[in-house]
Amino acid sequence: MINYLLIGNKMIEPWNDRALESPPNNTFSGSYSMDIQDLRHTCNNIEKVLSKQLSLHNEAAILNRFIYKFDKKFRSDIGYRNLKKVNSAINKFKSLNLLKDIENFNSLLPTNCEDNYLPTQQMLQYVLVRIVSFSMIMKRICTCSKVTAVYYMDRVKRGESHWMSLMPFALLSRIWSLSLVLLQHCCSWYSCLYPYLDNLKLKGVEFLPDGYILPRDLDQWIDIKNIDNSGRFQWVYQKSVQIHLDFTEDDIMNYDSILNYVKDVNKNEQPQDTWDNVKTNEPTKLSCDVTVKPFDEGQTISREHFQSFFNQSKEKENVHSADKVINKTTLDLFITNEERYRNQNSDNSLTKHLSFMQWQSLKSSLLKLSDSLSYNRKIERKFKKIWKEKCLDCL
């Protein structure tokens, strides 16, 4: 008999034991009346499904990065705490290597009719227990995903941080759908493998503890039909949505995207205005002699035209002029701007009438004045003198 961990006076069930050890690989010889090809086909189907879980692993990686990035910002949020529960359940799914156990059991099945050696009943019991563990983890992921999605959907409907709520809600929706499909697969696998228990023989130490019986129907044991009602929270905003079954592909071409179709549906569901006699285009007199004037919606302008109003005020403040040179800072700024305007052949250049050699002579004199230790008054006076001799007199 294999020993199991006890908590108080209660024994942990085998499917909930993290340190559950597999029975030894053993076979027995003898005649059998079961369909080995059907059993092998079921095992191959399980291996095929479990080996193609890249999509769930990708969603788990995105969830892990989301939790790592927003841990400090949303660590006190209830929805974020439930999101961490989903992540912990997915980590348990990663640690449970059901594929390896199925491959080990499938490798002991006979490949031809002449081989009469079959795996023992303890090995099939171990596989069924692992399937039950896998299904309970999938149920946990489905329940936590739904409970967490309720928080984020309610936040979206209240208008609180749409983008920070839509991203985890979409992620939880994908995880919920993938885990629900795997849960349904587990129930079908269990129902296919359980009937073979009576055809296999016990050999050696018993695997299951005394008094423990594996569930005969996993669907009923998990209550998969009422899985949508599981969890402590339900949708706050429940509304019956009427699906238009006559919506064909020809109707899709009339819309640029599905969002435009949703907008049209929402417009039809909006309540009608109680003031049906009020028109925004024409003034209407009410019974209390109050005239409702049409609302002036204004005129649409482009973003560039709107920004031009601010650029005009900046240009007035940054007028390029020689009268603004009063110290070293303004002198250096004047030289830099004048050099840039000359290279661009701009109309703002004040020395465009000078030749290249004349501009270099003027520029060298201004740079010597900027490097000197003169006071601001002397700089302003000397600049006017140089500017008159080498620029204004050359006109």
pLDDT digits (tens, 9 = 90+) for 349-360: 888 888 888 888
What average pLDDT does the segment 330-346 reach?
Answer: 88
Q: What are phi and psi of 29, to 5 degrees?
A: -110, 145
Contact between residue 145 and residue 196 where contact means Cβ atoms under 8 Å apart? no
Q: Record the pTM.
A: 0.56
Check residues 271 and 117 and name the one with the higher pLDDT: 117
Contact between residue 210 and residue 124 where contact means Cβ atoms under 8 Å apart? no
Q: Evaluate if residue 326 carries a pLDDT over 90.
A: no
Cα 145 versus chain centre, distance = 14
Residues of the chain with pLDDT > 90: what percent? Answer: 16
* C-alpha distances out from residue 239 to 151, 242, 267, Å: 17, 10, 16
CA distance 395 to 386: 14
Q: Evaluate if residue 3 carries a pLDDT over 60.
A: no
The one-letter amino acid code at 90 reads I
Least confident segment among 4-8, 126-130, 135-139: 4-8
> Dihedral, CA atoms, 219, 221, 223, 225, nearest 10 degrees?
20
Q: Which of 233, 227, 235 is nearest to 156 (CA)?
A: 235
Contact between residue 335 and residue 370 where contact means Cβ atoms under 8 Å apart? yes
What average pLDDT does the segment 245-250 reach?
Answer: 50
Residues in CB range of 134: below 8 A, 6 or more apart? 93, 96, 98, 182, 186
Contact between residue 134 and residue 222 where contact means Cβ atoms under 8 Å apart? no
The one-letter amino acid code at 207 reads F
Element (H, E) at 391: none
Q: What are phi and psi of 353, to 5 degrees?
A: -85, -10
Q: What are phi and psi of 350, to 5 degrees?
A: -90, -10
Q: What are phi and psi of 36, to 5 degrees?
A: -70, -35
pLDDT in tens, 109-128: 887 766 778 888 889 999 99
* C-alpha distances out from residue 105 to 19, 108, 121, 125, 191, Å: 19, 6, 11, 11, 17
Burial 208-243 (b: 16+ CB within 10 A, else e): beeeeebeeebbeebebeebeeeeeeeeeeeeeeee
Contact between residue 219 and residue 135 where contact means Cβ atoms under 8 Å apart? no
What average pLDDT does the segment 65-78 reach?
Answer: 82
Give the pLDDT score at 313: 52
* C-alpha distances out from residue 171 to 59, 88, 315, Å: 7, 15, 50
- pLDDT winner (highest mean) among 4-13, 94-103, 223-232, 261-270: 94-103
Q: Evaluate if residue 302 carries a pLDDT over 80.
A: no
* C-alpha distances out from residue 155 to 67, 145, 152, 228, 321, Å: 18, 16, 5, 21, 57
What average pLDDT does the segment 172-193 reach?
Answer: 91
Contact between residue 11 and residue 4 where contact means Cβ atoms under 8 Å apart? yes
3 state DSSP class of 223: coil
* Sequence-ordered strand ranges (E) for the chain: 6-7, 10-11, 27-29, 117-119, 284-285, 291-292
What average pLDDT does the segment 29-33 reach?
Answer: 69
Residues in CB range of 376: below 8 A, 6 or more apart? 326, 327, 328
Residues of the chain with pLDDT > 70: what percent? Answer: 74
DSSP 285: E
Give the pLDDT score at 138: 93
Helices (H) and strands (E) in the chain, counts: 13, 6
Residue located via tokens 């920004």: 307
Residue 280 pLDDT level (bands cut at 50, 70, 90): very low
Least confident segment among 36-40, 273-277, 293-297, 379-383: 273-277
The one-letter amino acid code at 238 reads Q
